[in-house]
Amino acid sequence: MKVVVGAVAGIAGLILLIIIGAAVLIVDEDSSAVDATNGGAGLQGVPAEFRKWILKADADCKEPSMTPALLAAQLYQESKFKTSAAEATSAVGAQGPAQFMPGTWSAWGRDADGNGRNSPWDIGDAVIAQGRMMCSLLRQAAASGYPGGPRALALAGYNAGWGRVQQYRGVPPQSFANGETYNYVRLILSTMSRFQGPALVPVAFTGSGTGPDALRRASTELGVKYSYGGGTPSGPSTGFCDGVNGYLGGRCDASRTRGWDCSSLVQYAYWPSVQLPRTAAAQYGATSNRPVARSDLKPGDLLFWKNTSGFIYHVGMYAGDGNVLHAPRTGKSVELVPLASAMPERDYLGATRP
């Protein structure tokens, strides 16, 4: 990002004289080539440490042209998902996996991962800043009326600055900056399909209200590892082992894994609008006065399982279409699975509505 601006600032005036009136890139976003990248919030082919943040950045943006695959393809073009200073510093000083110039980072950067620092080198900070900037650019692009489609225009704005898009009333042509912005846009749009996976969530995730809102928040954690005792209303964290739970391969996995257990994920999903207690049993106790029959389940309803002694050992969230979103157990990750197979059917206790 912004590599073009730094590299060609000195010749911008000459280029302007030469190419005013030149043809601009028009990307038909209704064409079959782009249709393959549309539809659903699926994501594949990205490093695990990027997945959560890409999904969160997508979920935070309400622009219809935003998808996880768009962000992933852009990150791949910017840095190939590299995070070291040696591999992710451009010749003109762009930094980190999303390639922010220092001046642009000061406008968009935030401590998104909550580690106490605001850095373009932190994956969470970088991807969320990328998503916020792209969301703003998509909004400007949709309102501009320029040809090319909002994705192409937003990508051009990210690479060369929105001023260049306004200057050319579209994506800058190949003659601008040796075609860098022109090719940047084409490459990202053509590689989106590489990162487009199956839809992550059912239509139920698009509803409105407390339950669907909580479900959408939980869905940003799909693929994050299970950690017994881990997770807080602020985000995933390492957990602990208690002599029985949290072990994997004879070692305490929870103490070295940042993630969620079943009830912390539910607590996080509903926080702060509904401040549920921490454990599955306590969450049942706090909501059992609002039971829901299995035939009346709605997105965001809490699902509980108990063992033969009556101890409530697991909670998940109903995700519509007979599915449950939950953090299952040590060695697994947050997942979306059929309700019938999420936990032993004989252990199913019932559902409540927070």
Task: List domains and CATH numbers for the chain.
Answer: 3-195 (1.10.530.10), 203-352 (3.90.1720.10)
Residue 1: per-residue pLDDT: 60
d(C-alpha 178, C-alpha 221), whole Å? 40
Phi, psi at residue 189, to the nearest 5°?
-65, -35
Report whether pLDDT(7) > 60: no
d(C-alpha 220, C-alpha 224), whole Å? 9
C-alpha angle with apex 180: 175 to 183, nearest 5 degrees? 95
Report whether pLDDT(198) > 80: no
Report whether pLDDT(197) > 90: no
Residue 341: per-residue pLDDT: 86
Residue 340: per-residue pLDDT: 85
Instruction: Return the structure tokens found at 185.
Output: 């846009």
Phi, psi at residue 79, to the nearest 5°?
-145, 0
Dihedral sign, Cα of residue 99, residue 102, residue 103, residue 106: positive
Higher pLDDT, 196 or 41: 196
d(C-alpha 208, C-alpha 121), whole Å? 35
Q: Using DSSP, how many helices (H) and how many strands (E) does the chain show?
A: 14, 10
Instruction: Return the structure tokens found at 276.
Output: 């549920």
Cβ count within 10 A of residue 310 = 8
Higher pLDDT, 267 or 16: 267
Q: CA 66 → CA 63, 139, 157, 174, distances in Å?
A: 6, 10, 15, 25
Residue 38: per-residue pLDDT: 32
Residue 291: per-residue pLDDT: 98
Residue 221: per-residue pLDDT: 85
Residues 6 or more apart in contact with residue 321 via CB below 8 angstroms: 202, 203, 204
**Please, where are the H alpha helices in the chain?**
3-8, 12-19, 32-35, 48-60, 68-79, 102-108, 123-144, 150-160, 162-168, 180-195, 210-219, 262-270, 280-287, 339-342
Instruction: Return the structure tokens found at 209.
Output: 């209200």
With a pLDDT cut of 90, the percent of the chain lying above it is: 70
pLDDT tens per residue, range 83-111: 999 999 999 999 999 999 999 999 999 99
